[in-house]
C-alpha cells in the first residue's frame, strides 16, 4: 500500500461520524447493513449519512450493493487488512515477532511485548 493511499484511508476514518459508521460496518460483517439501519443506529440524518457513506465508499473502505430498494453497505475487509498490514509492517523495528507468532491483529500488543526490551534497558 502506498503511503498516500494509507493517509487517505486514515483521513476518512479521522471523522467521528465516519469512524462510527465504519466500526458499525465491521461489526456487521460481510453481509453489511442497509443505510436506514446505519442511520437509525447512529442517529444520523439521511443526507449526513449519505455524505459519509459516499466518502467511505470513494476511498475504498466500504462497498455498496443494491438489494431491491435497499442500499446495503459493508466494510471492505481486504482494504482494512491491507491498511492494518501497512501500519504494522515494520513493527518492533523489523523484528519478526508478529510473523513468528502468527498472531491475528487483535494480538499485536501481546506479540510486541515479546519484542520489548527489559525495563530500564537502554535503547
104, 117 Cβ separation under 8 angstroms = no
In this predicted model, which residue has the larger pLDDT, 88 or 119?
88
Domains of the chain (ranges; CATH) run 3-79 (1.10.10.10), 92-123 (no CATH)
Q: Residue 32 has what pLDDT?
A: 96
pTM given for the model:
0.77
What's the average model confidence in pLDDT over 31-49? 96
What's the average model confidence in pLDDT over 56-68? 96
Q: Residue 107 has what pLDDT?
A: 53
Q: How far is CA 85 from CA 8, 19, 66, 91, 105, in A?
A: 15, 19, 30, 10, 9
60, 77 Cβ separation under 8 angstroms = no
Helix ranges, the chain (H): 3-13, 16-28, 35-42, 46-59, 77-88, 97-101, 108-113
Least confident of 25-34, 47-56, 78-87, 113-122: 113-122
Amino acid at each position: 500500500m502506498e503511503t498516500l493511499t494509507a493517509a487517505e484511508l486514515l483521513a476518512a476514518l479521522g471523522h467521528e461520524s465516519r469512524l462510527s459508521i465504519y466500526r458499525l460496518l465491521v461489526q456487521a460483517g460481510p453481509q453489511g447493513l442497509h443505510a436506514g439501519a446505519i442511520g437509525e443506529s447512529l442517529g444520523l440524518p439521511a443526507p449526513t449519512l449519505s455524505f459519509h457513506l459516499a466518502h467511505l465508499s470513494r476511498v475504498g473502505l466500504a462497498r455498496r450493493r443494491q438489494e431491491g430498494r435497499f442500499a446495503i453497505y459493508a466494510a471492505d475487509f481486504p482494504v482494512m487488512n491491507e491498511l492494518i498490514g501497512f501500519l504494522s509492517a515494520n513493527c518492533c523495528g523489523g523484528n519478526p515477532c508478529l510473523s513468528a507468532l502468527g498472531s491475528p491483529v487483535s494480538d499485536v500488543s501481546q506479540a510486541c511485548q515479546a519484542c520489548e526490551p527489559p525495563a530500564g534497558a537502554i535503547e
